[in-house]
Amino acid sequence: MAENIALIGNPNCGKSTLFNRLTGLRQKVSNLPGTTVEKKYGSWGAQFSLIDLPGIYSLYSESEDERVVVKELLGLDSVDLPNKIFFILDASNLRRNLLLFSQVAELNIPMTVLLTMNDTAQKKNLQINTTELENILGVPVVKINPRKGDGMDAIIPALSHAKVSSLKMVENTRERLADCIKTGKRAGVAAETLSRYAHIEKIISACVCQKPTNGIAWCAKLDYWLTHRIVGYLIFAFIMLTIFQGVFTLAEYPMNWIEEGFATLSEWTNTALPPGTFTSMLSEGFIPGIAGVVVFVPQIAILFLFIGLLEDSGYMTRASFITDRVMRRIGLNGRSVIPLISGFACAIPSIMATRNIKHKGERLGTMFVIPLMSCSARLPVYALLISLTIPETAGIGPFSLRSIIMTLAYFAGIIAAVGISLFFKRRNQNTETSEFILEMPTYQLPRLQSVLLQMSHKSMSFVTSAGKVIVIISMILWALSSYGPGNAIEMAENEVYRTTDKPTYGLYTEKLRNTDLAEVRLEASYAGHLGKFIEPAIQPLGYDWKTGIAIISSFAAREVFVGTMATLFRGREDKPETIRDVMKQKVNPETGKPLYGLPYALSLMIFYAYALQCMSTIAVMKRETGGWKWPLLQFATYLVLAWLSAWLVFNLTAALQ
């Protein structure tokens, strides 16, 4: 039977990196505290079963992720206790790490200490006497580098000599921890912590020698500017703007190739295969649906490439630090920063990541505003609307107007989140001061292999998960747009033939009739009837019934909007055209201006920035809050906010044109 080995340590100590190397699993690893919020399992050969527990600073806590660790160590959350423990000790910060070690040591579970971050300790001119440290802790100590694989061969021999630590500072730790879990209250451990640190100082004095350093380290100088009260925010905004500039500039060519390739494939399928339902379904439903997925992969891949580089370099933690000042002013805990930043990727794991927030009101407030962080699912919608209405050559200085508007769309969500958080702050009237411990990781060159792996994983996740939904809904929409109630489509076609069947009938009239036929077929179909039904509610926002269909379908996933529009705007039968080509040709019969112009695009962008159009997010909110009250309130609040904001933006933009 395999031995159960738990991996325990402070956040950002290299624990998950070691877990990945030993198990071969592709769990996300980043230079950012709080990445692991639930325990992960993996096999290390046939002999060992590894459990990667969340990174924590102390066993005494009220947060959900830290309770996961305590329950595992006490055997409250599983059938068997861990047989042994790998305690991951950060060599560059022994003082802080040894506080947790001293608590775990008193649980009487055999341990082996794996000393990581030795290269960082060396840069700080720290020399650690591992032999003396091993004697004091009473357990084997092994130096390793899980990033490079150094010292891995010594782990198994050290594990065979794992034993219960002889370091005991406090009695009855196991019983007091069990009582804290049972009652849900945190024990008063302030005096105990001070006593532990007094013992730890003696250990540091005996084991650690630091050579004097000349001047301020370059990383300290860099931190001064990156975390500056004013300059830090300007740098953060500049980095975000640069990212979106890169997303548009670098992805433009591959997106055009993909878009044109699928349009040509759709046209070829329509002409090469015999006419019929199957050919129509393939060329007008399946292929446009696939195109709506694949065309935005370059942008999503580039976005996650930049995010991965920032996380791995250590900058994202600095961004968390400077935004902590804002978080506290609007009533959120400093721990809210990590879930909120993660929300730019996906709201679902970000809502789960709020489990490390101790105060119930602060956690609820954080969960409530996370959907306002523009996730990657919104990126295809933003990209389509911006490229539809903003010329590629337009710009301000070195930045394109497209990237500026994209950045503003993201900041629109942030601004709304601040306003709603202030409302929560006034409602909660929370006078409790919540502590926030955030370890600043050392700067390091991003691991290109890890970043590319993460980029590939996220991109493929978009294709496989969102892609399935998009293609299925595209097929359903094809059916809804190809068939109608009774003989409604036939009657609409006859009307077109009647009005265009004239003696002067020629090539131009034939093309016109083909275009009119496509329009009236869609309008008379089931999809058209559905769009017409909700059109009165969205017409004040500048949307037509086709956009209404796309909005309804995108409740399954926001990115479905693009696939839906690709299915609805199929182009003329005589020429392969992209979705943007077809939409640009549409004219408002009342004003003579483009139907899908700038007012339409900006209005729809702000609608998608605020509306909670993600069933998965609603389901996770229900699970995390334990009922339907908050998810339904969240959905209704953001729907009203989205409608009012979109109405205001549409009318202001239209008036200025």
Which pTM does this prediction carry? 0.60
Domain annotation covers residue 206: yes
Asked whether residue 237 falls in the same domain as residue 275, the answer is yes
- How confident is the model over 614-638, as a mean pLDDT? 84
Q: What percent of the chain shows pLDDT beyond 90?
A: 16
Asked whether residue 189 falls in the same domain as residue 271, the answer is no
Domain annotation covers residue 443: no
pLDDT at 504: 45
Radius of gyration of the chain (CA): 29
pLDDT in tens, 278-297: 887 888 778 877 776 677 67
Asked whether residue 185 falls in the same domain as residue 255, the answer is no
Asked whether residue 202 falls in the same domain as residue 236, the answer is no
Domain annotation covers residue 166: yes
Nearest to 173 by CA among 201, 193, 159: 193
pLDDT at 508: 39
Asked whether residue 190 falls in the same domain as residue 236, the answer is no
d(CA 647, CA 507): 42
Domain annotation covers residue 150: yes
d(CA 444, CA 228): 20
Calculate the CA 130 to chain-centre distance. 40
In this structure, of 92-96, 192-196, 360-364, 379-383, the range with the lowest mean pLDDT score is: 360-364
Domain annotation covers residue 462: no
Where among 428, 457, 487 does a domain terminate?
428
**Does residue 380 come out as left (phi exceeding 0), alpha (psi in the -120 to 50 range) or beta?**
alpha
Our count of domains for the chain comes to 3
In this structure, of 13-17, 93-97, 170-174, 248-252, the range with the lowest mean pLDDT score is: 248-252
pLDDT in tens, 552-586: 877 766 777 877 777 677 544 444 456 777 787 77
pLDDT in tens, 576-615: 456 777 787 777 777 777 878 899 999 999 999 999 877 7
Higher pLDDT, 651 or 70: 651
Domain annotation covers residue 446: no
Instruction: Please say whether the beta carbons of 114 and 16 come within 8 A.
Output: no
pLDDT in tens, 432-474: 545 555 566 677 778 777 788 778 876 776 677 656 666 776 6
- How confident is the model over 92-118, as a mean pLDDT? 91
User: H or E segment at 52?
Assistant: strand 48-52
Instruction: Please say whether the beta carbons of 314 and 495 come within 8 A.
Output: no
Higher pLDDT, 597 or 246: 597
pLDDT in tens, 356-401: 676 777 888 888 998 998 887 788 889 888 988 888 888 887 778 8
CB atoms inside a 10 Å sphere around CB 245: 19
Asked whether residue 310 falls in the same domain as residue 266, the answer is yes
Mean confidence (pLDDT) of the chain: 79
Q: Which two tokens stand for residue 188?
A: 């008063």
- Banded pLDDT at 136 (limits 50, 70, 90): very high
- Banded pLDDT at 212 (limits 50, 70, 90): low
d(CA 163, CA 138): 8
Higher pLDDT, 49 or 346: 49
Domain annotation covers residue 440: no
- Banded pLDDT at 507 (limits 50, 70, 90): very low
Asked whether residue 254 falls in the same domain as residue 329, the answer is yes
Cα→Cα distances 11→139, 355, 498, Å? 22, 15, 73
pLDDT at 26: 56
Asked whether residue 484 falls in the same domain as residue 419, the answer is no
Asked whether residue 409 falls in the same domain as residue 279, the answer is yes
Burial class (CB in 10 A: 0-12, 13-18, 19+), 184: exposed
CB atoms inside a 10 Å sphere around CB 84: 17
The answer to whether residue 322 scores a pLDDT higher than 90 is no
CB atoms inside a 10 Å sphere around CB 321: 18
With b for 16 or more beta-carbon neighbours within 10 A and e for fewer, the 349-372 pattern comes to bbbbbbbbbbbebbbbbbbbbbbb
Nearest to 312 by CA among 35, 24, 20, 116: 35
Where among 377, 403, 428 does a domain terminate?
428
Asked whether residue 522 falls in the same domain as residue 422, the answer is no
Alpha-helix runs per DSSP H in 208-346: 218-226, 231-272, 277-281, 287-294, 297-313, 315-329, 337-342
Asked whether residue 540 falls in the same domain as residue 630, the answer is yes
- Banded pLDDT at 643 (limits 50, 70, 90): very high
The answer to whether residue 521 scores a pLDDT higher than 50 is yes
Domain annotation covers residue 177: yes
d(CA 491, CA 642): 38
Asked whether residue 70 falls in the same domain as residue 120, the answer is yes
Cα→Cα distances 189→126, 176, 180, 384, Å? 30, 11, 12, 55
Q: Is the dihedral of CA 194, 195, 198, 204 positive or negative?
A: negative
Q: Domain span at residue 627?
A: 468-656
Cα→Cα distances 482→56, 250, 495, 548, Å? 56, 37, 17, 17
Domain of 140: which CATH number? 3.40.50.300
In this structure, of 2-6, 338-342, 369-373, the range with the lowest mean pLDDT score is: 338-342
